[in-house]
Amino acid sequence: MSSPRPELKLDWCSHEAARYACERWHYSRSVPAGKNVYLGVWESSTFIGAVIFGMGSGNSTNGARFGLRDRFEVAELVRIALRRHHNAVSRVIAIAVRFIRRQSPGLRLLISFADPVQGHHGGVYQASGWQYTGFTKSDVLYRIRSGWVHHRTATAKGSAAGLQSRPIPPKHRYLLPLDAEMRQRIAPLAKPYPKRVKQATDGHHPASDGAAPIHTLQIPESTYAES
């Protein structure tokens, strides 16, 4: 007889807690720039990672593409940084979506991307019922001081001429409409789900320390739990 899954808990967490998770358990090893909101993830009182939603300047472009005029109507799920875990990632995503909807009731659309370069095809979004709309376009990042930024950011800070650059290969795009009208609006964009082409890392990195390493990782009293 199999043992029961550990109790799954999510709640808002600090930037420091999210950074801890990203630096250890996400292939990027970084927290994305811009305005973000952070959710910690626990299994049986053990901190196992973070989910991050981005509410940055790119939202205006993303929203306009799908007929949204207010940049606060769309957000991006920018990181799922988890160590080894027992609960399905789709359950983590489902609870995280409930949090962001309560925190931002005006949201109408969530976007996320899966990077084929990392072996990802978006299986966690497929299991969560997100809609696949195909590949993004290729793009370019520019190096400014110690970090890499999107070409829009580089241009806003001045000319990108002469800056070190690197290409961004196309990524799989997934959408989650949050109301009936938005579901109808993006329905014509739906494409068949892509299949896994090679073993994916799913962004997880094994680690020996799952217990809360700093005070900010302790479970808040208001934690939403789902067992």
Q: Which two tokens stand for residue 197?
A: 């082409």
Q: Are residues 106 and 151 in the same domain?
A: no
Q: Are residues 163 and 179 in the same domain?
A: no
Q: How much is the pLDDT for 153?
A: 62
Q: Are residues 114 and 155 in the same domain?
A: no
Give me the sign of the Cα torsion angle 184, 190, 192, 196: negative
Domain's final residue, options 169, 189, 217: 169
Q: How much is the pLDDT for 64?
A: 84
Q: How much is the pLDDT for 152?
A: 59
Q: Are residues 196 and 96 in the same domain?
A: yes
**How many separate domains does the chain show?**
2
Residue 197 lies in a domain: yes
Residue 2 lies in a domain: no
The Cα angle at residue 167 between residues 112 and 57, in degrees rounded to 5 = 45
Q: Are residues 30 and 74 in the same domain?
A: yes
Q: Are residues 32 and 143 in the same domain?
A: no
Residue 200 lies in a domain: yes
Q: Are residues 76 and 86 in the same domain?
A: yes
Residue 31 lies in a domain: yes
Residue 102 lies in a domain: yes
Q: Are residues 93 and 59 in the same domain?
A: yes
Q: How much is the pLDDT for 80?
A: 95
Q: Are residues 105 and 147 in the same domain?
A: no
Q: Are residues 102 and 158 in the same domain?
A: no
Q: Are residues 196 and 143 in the same domain?
A: no
Q: How much is the pLDDT for 147?
A: 64
For 72, phi and psi rounded to 5 degrees?
A: -85, 5
Task: Output the domain CATH number for residue 101.
Answer: 3.40.630.30
Q: Are residues 190 and 216 in the same domain?
A: yes
Residue 3 lies in a domain: no
3-state secondary structure 190-212: CCCCCCCCCCCCCCCCCCCCCCC
The DSSP secondary-structure symbol of 162 reads T
Residue 158 lies in a domain: yes
Residue 38 lies in a domain: yes
pLDDT tens for each residue of the chain, 227 residues long: 566 788 999 999 999 999 999 999 998 898 988 889 999 999 999 999 999 999 755 565 678 888 888 888 999 999 999 999 999 999 999 999 999 999 999 999 999 998 887 788 888 999 999 999 998 877 777 777 656 666 556 665 566 677 888 777 788 999 999 999 999 999 999 999 988 765 444 444 433 333 333 333 444 444 444 43
What's the CA gap between 175 and 185, in Å, rounded?
A: 12
What domain range is 150 assigned to? Answer: 138-169
Q: Which two tokens stand for residue 106?
A: 């005006």
Contact in structure between 13 and 38 (CB atoms under 8 Å): yes
